[in-house]
Structure formats: structure tokens, C-alpha cells
Amino acid sequence: MNIQRLFRAAKNSVDGLKVLWVEEAFRLEVIILLIALPVIFFLPVTGSLKLLLLLLLILLLVVEAINSAIEAIIDRISLDYHPQSRKAKDIGSAAVLLVLIMNVIAWIYVIC
């Protein structure tokens, strides 16, 4: 792999993060992560549980990014209503919801 290709790939990733930052849900989830980070490190639990909480929060950002990509693709194809487009967007949104639920369960478990 040449270094120029690596820099192009990194630039594409940074461009993707800039696009994501426009999404209100993504910004809110980043803020939640930034608030939760110090809390995680001060919780009196094992390193494994701290890592689990951190990774679940990062997973939320990853799934939000994938959901945003799905929405962008659907909107690129057509802005007209179509049941399959609605289905794809709803499933992407459901994936985000499931990861949010995973986070809530993990935080309740660790705190209690």
C-alpha cells in the first residue's frame, strides 16, 4: 500500500466525519460520549466494564453513521415516497434504537 493512497483514504474518512457532523443525531451522540467519558473512568468498576461502556458508545456512533449512509443512498435514488425506501430507512433507524437500548442496559447494569 503506498503512502499516497493511505492519505487519500484518511482524507475520505475525515470528509465523512464532516458530513456526519451536520447530522443533529450524530452531534448529540458525540456530546453524550464526551460527557460519559469522564464518568466511565471514575466509575468504581473493572477495566473490562469500563471498556464495554466505551465500546458501546462508539458502536452507537458507528451505527448512526451507517444509518446516515443508508438515508443518503435512498435520498440519492429518489426523494419520492416508496415503501421499500421507507422500509430501509426504518430498519436503519431501528438499528440505532437497538444500540441505544444496549447502552441503556449496560449503564443500568454497571451503575446498579
| Of 71, 77, 70, 67, nearest in space to 99 by CA | 67
Which residues are known to be catalytic? 64
Closest listed residue to residue 62, CA positions, set 38, 89, 96, 39 = 96
Distance CA 71, CA 83 (A): 14
Q: CA-CA distance, 87 to 73, in Å (whole number)?
A: 13
